[in-house]
């Protein structure tokens, strides 16, 4: 446990000029399976089915089932709420959003000989939706956010006030220059000790507000081939595009009405905008050992992202009669806005799947339904970061060391997890009835009582007739997660437990082409 905590806190030393956190890696990889309304209705379990454009993003071998083509469009609507509990107090925030889900086209062909059919697809998919509004508050009698800045100074092993005032522009320098933290009396520069001005013993009223927007949209080109109606092979090339906008405001105020204790409040505002794109490959196979059975296996390579972060930070502290109200921004310390480019690698995914098709024959109009299940493994500790080297501007040693430390922190904070998806469909001539379930496992190593999971329950209807089809699905999603405003090395700190419930409506309209 001490080794894990050391890795998490080491990044504060190496990263005095950066603001990435291990949580940012999880945000780009702990995502649910997307898909059309049909795929969502069966829990997203598409690893051994096919016949749906969603196969492009799950197991491209499923494209080999196509003998004609599809043109599909999927609008979606989400509405939900997030309950955040912090120090025994619960707060609720609501959210809603309209988006475009899995859409695109598939062109298939029927052939004679060993290759029975083949198809290629061009599709777009929302891989992640970052929209979130979280607020939590409570009275803390044990610790202050400002102690995080003191830990950073201690880890840097400095007693120089000039260093503290200028070398930690994302927080510690701002806190020091606005007197949220201060020097202990009696010291000299170079040998200073530091303290918080927040009156922890008499209690602090704390509130954290986090607003996140953006998402990941992936454009993919896929291909699948059917060999003798026994083995299907496929692959796809994906280009995910990322945009993340995150703003947070942490407020810490004196819980008493004492106007002479030299602390009234402190406000810490942070902003992060991440943009970029990546590339990945997906490949898979589907094998039909018997007429009614299908077994699938797929692998998703890590996505290699090229990303750029723009950061803002601002601290305002009111120390009453000591120094009044002081405000400082990141740019006041650095002289310019903060921007850094880097590479990020997400985890590998492996998917195993099995399906049982009722009355499996070539004429799909006479099929009566199916049962299907996927098991997926995601290696979250594989997430890593790399400094961007160019011929003209090579990355400096400090930057390389920071990203190396950040990668160690990620592997120490997270573990591999299994995800499970299952569903089924019953077909009544032109009408289909579907149901499914999906469970996404806990990626946390439980360093500080951290647990996360996602459970989706889904149901839907479909209609197909004369080259036209329409599918509607409702998904009830339940997510458990945590938010930690700050971590401390030797003092208690607290999680905010998050419970999100959401309704997701999917409507897919399509035409045979």
* Residue from 270, 302, 357 nearest 29 by CA: 302
Measured CA distances, 149 to 80, 107, 331, 439 (Å):
35, 58, 18, 38
**pLDDT tens per residue, range 244-260:** 999 999 999 999 989 99
Whole-number pLDDT of residue 400: 83
**pLDDT tens per residue, range 70-85:** 999 999 999 999 999 9
Q: Looking at the domain 2-512, which fold is it?
A: Porin (2.40.160)
Would you state the structure tokens that stand for residue 501, as one six-digit string?
């419930």
Whole-number pLDDT of residue 140: 98
**pLDDT tens per residue, range 210-239:** 999 999 999 999 999 999 999 999 999 999
Our CA angle for 10, 11, 15, nearest 5°, is 130
**Residue 365 reports pLDDT greater than 90:** no
Helix (H) or strand (E) holding 333: helix 330-334
Whole-number pLDDT of residue 14: 46
Whole-number pLDDT of residue 6: 45
**Residue 97 reports pLDDT greater than 80:** yes
What is the spatial distance between Cα 376 and Cα 32, in angstroms, rounded to a whole number? 11
> What percent of the chain is predicted at pLDDT more than 90?
82
Average of per-residue pLDDT across 349-353: 98
**Residue 5 reports pLDDT greater than 80:** no
Whole-number pLDDT of residue 21: 75
**Residue 424 reports pLDDT greater than 70:** yes
Question: Other C-beta atoms within 10 Å of 490: how many?
Answer: 9
Q: In a 10 Å sphere around its CB, with 0-12 CB exposed, 13-18 middle and 19+ buried, how is residue 465 labelled? A: exposed
Average of per-residue pLDDT across 183-194: 91
* Residue from 497, 501, 500, 502 nearest 89 by CA: 497
**Residue 93 reports pLDDT greater than 90:** yes
Whole-number pLDDT of residue 4: 45
Catalogue the long-range contacts made by 321-329 (C-beta closer than 8 Å, 24 or more residues apart): 321/259, 321/260, 321/262, 322/179, 322/197, 322/262, 323/178, 323/179, 326/177, 326/178, 326/179, 327/178, 328/173, 328/174, 328/177, 328/178, 329/174
CB 177 within 8 Å of CB 328: yes
**Residue 20 reports pLDDT greater than 70:** no
Q: How do the domains of the chain map onto residue ranges?
A: 2-512
What is the spatial distance between Cα 237 and Cα 282, in angstroms, rounded to a whole number? 7
Q: Find the helix packing angle between 2-14 and 397-413, rounded to 10°.
A: 150
Helix (H) or strand (E) holding 161: helix 161-166
Would you state the structure tokens that stand for residue 513, as one six-digit string?
């082409």
Whole-number pLDDT of residue 392: 55
Chain mean pLDDT for the chain: 93
Whole-number pLDDT of residue 90: 97
Handedness of CA 173, 175, 177, 179 (dihedral sign): negative
Average of per-residue pLDDT across 43-67: 96
Q: Find the helix packing angle between 146-156 and 2-14, rounded to 10°.
A: 80
What is the spatial distance between Cα 499 and Cα 505, in angstroms, rounded to a whole number? 20
What is the spatial distance between Cα 185 and Cα 318, in angstroms, rounded to a whole number? 20
**Residue 344 reports pLDDT greater than 50:** yes
Q: In a 10 Å sphere around its CB, with 0-12 CB exposed, 13-18 middle and 19+ buried, how is residue 257 labelled? A: exposed
**Residue 366 reports pLDDT greater than 90:** no
What is the spatial distance between Cα 55 and Cα 18, in angstroms, rounded to a whole number? 39
What is the spatial distance between Cα 489 and Cα 255, in angstroms, rounded to a whole number? 24
- The dihedrals phi and psi of 495, each to the nearest 5 degrees, come to -85, 150
- The dihedrals phi and psi of 418, each to the nearest 5 degrees, come to -100, 140
pTM summary value: 0.93
Residues near 159 by Cβ (< 8 Å), separated by ≥ 6? 187, 189, 190, 191, 192, 193
What is the spatial distance between Cα 88 and Cα 497, in angstroms, rounded to a whole number? 10
Whole-number pLDDT of residue 1: 42
Whole-number pLDDT of residue 13: 46
Which is more confidently placed, 138 or 389?
Answer: 138
β-partners of residue 117 are 110, 226
What is the spatial distance between Cα 299 and Cα 296, in angstroms, rounded to a whole number? 10
- Please give the distance of CA 43 from its chain centroid, rounded to a whole number: 19
**pLDDT tens per residue, range 453-483:** 999 999 999 999 999 999 999 999 999 999 9
What is the spatial distance between Cα 117 and Cα 50, in angstroms, rounded to a whole number? 13
What is the spatial distance between Cα 83 and Cα 497, in angstroms, rounded to a whole number? 8
Average of per-residue pLDDT across 28-57: 96
Hey, is 197 helix, strand or coil? coil
């Amino acid at each position: 446990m001490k080794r894990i905590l050391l890795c998490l806190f080491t990044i504060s030393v190496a990263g005095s000029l950066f603001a990435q956190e291990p949580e940012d890696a999880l945000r780009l990889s702990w995502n649910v399976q997307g898909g059309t309304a049909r795929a969502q209705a069966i829990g997203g379990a598409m690893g051994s089915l096919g016949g749906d454009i969603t196969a492009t993003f799950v197991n491209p071998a499923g494209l080999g089932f196509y003998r004609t083509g599809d043109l599909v469009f999927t609008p979606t609507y989400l509405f939900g709420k997030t309950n955040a509990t912090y120090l025994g107090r619960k707060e609720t925030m609501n959210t809603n959003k309209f988006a475009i889900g899995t859409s695109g086209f598939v062109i298939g062909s029927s052939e004679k000989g060993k290759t029975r059919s083949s198809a290629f697809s061009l599709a777009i998919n929302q891989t992640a939706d970052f929209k979130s509004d979280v607020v939590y508050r409570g009275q803390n009698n044990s610790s202050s956010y400002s102690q995080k800045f003191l830990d950073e100074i201690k880890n840097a092993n400095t007693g120089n006030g000039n260093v503290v005032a200028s070398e930690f522009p994302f927080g510690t320098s701002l806190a020091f220059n606005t007197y949220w933290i201060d020097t202990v009396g009696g010291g000299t520069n170079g040998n200073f000790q530091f303290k918080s001005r927040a009156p922890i013993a008499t209690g602090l009223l704390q509130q954290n507000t986090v607003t996140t927007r953006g998402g990941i949209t992936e454009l993919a080109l896929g291909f699948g081939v059917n060999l003798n109606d026994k083995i299907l092979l496929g692959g796809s090339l994906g280009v995910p595009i990322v945009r993340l906008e995150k703003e947070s405001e942490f407020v810490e105020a004196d819980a008493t009405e004492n106007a002479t204790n030299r602390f009234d409040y402190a406000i810490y505002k942070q902003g992060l905008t991440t943009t970029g794109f990546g590339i990945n490959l997906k490949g898979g196979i589907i094998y039909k050992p018997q007429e009614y059975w299908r077994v699938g296996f797929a692998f998703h390579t890590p996505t290699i992202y090229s990303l750029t972060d723009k950061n803002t930070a601002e601290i305002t502290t009111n120390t009453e009669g000591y120094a009044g109200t002081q405000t400082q921004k990141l740019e006041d310390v650095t002289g310019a806005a903060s921007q850094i480019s880097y590479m990020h690698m997400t985890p590998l995914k492996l998917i195993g799947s099995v399906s049982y098709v009722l009355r499996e024959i070539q004429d799909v109009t006479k099929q009566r339904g199916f049962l299907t299940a996927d098991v997926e493994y995601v290696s979250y500790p594989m997430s890593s970061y790399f400094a961007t080297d160019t011929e003209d501007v090579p990355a400096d040693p400090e930057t390389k060391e920071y990203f190396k430390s950040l990668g160690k922190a990620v592997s120490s904070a997270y573990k591999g997890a299994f995800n499970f998806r299952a569903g089924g469909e019953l077909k009544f001539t032109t009408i289909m009835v579907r149901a499914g379930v999906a469970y996404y496992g806990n990626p946390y190593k439980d360093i500080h009582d951290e647990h996360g999971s996602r459970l989706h329950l889904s149901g839907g209807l479909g209609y197909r007739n004369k080259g036209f089809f329409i599918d509607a699905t409702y998904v009830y999603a339940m997510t458990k997660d945590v938010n930690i405003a700050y971590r401390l090395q030797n003092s208690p700190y607290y999680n905010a437990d998050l419970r999100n419930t959401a309704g997701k409506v999917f409507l897919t309209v399509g035409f045979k082409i």
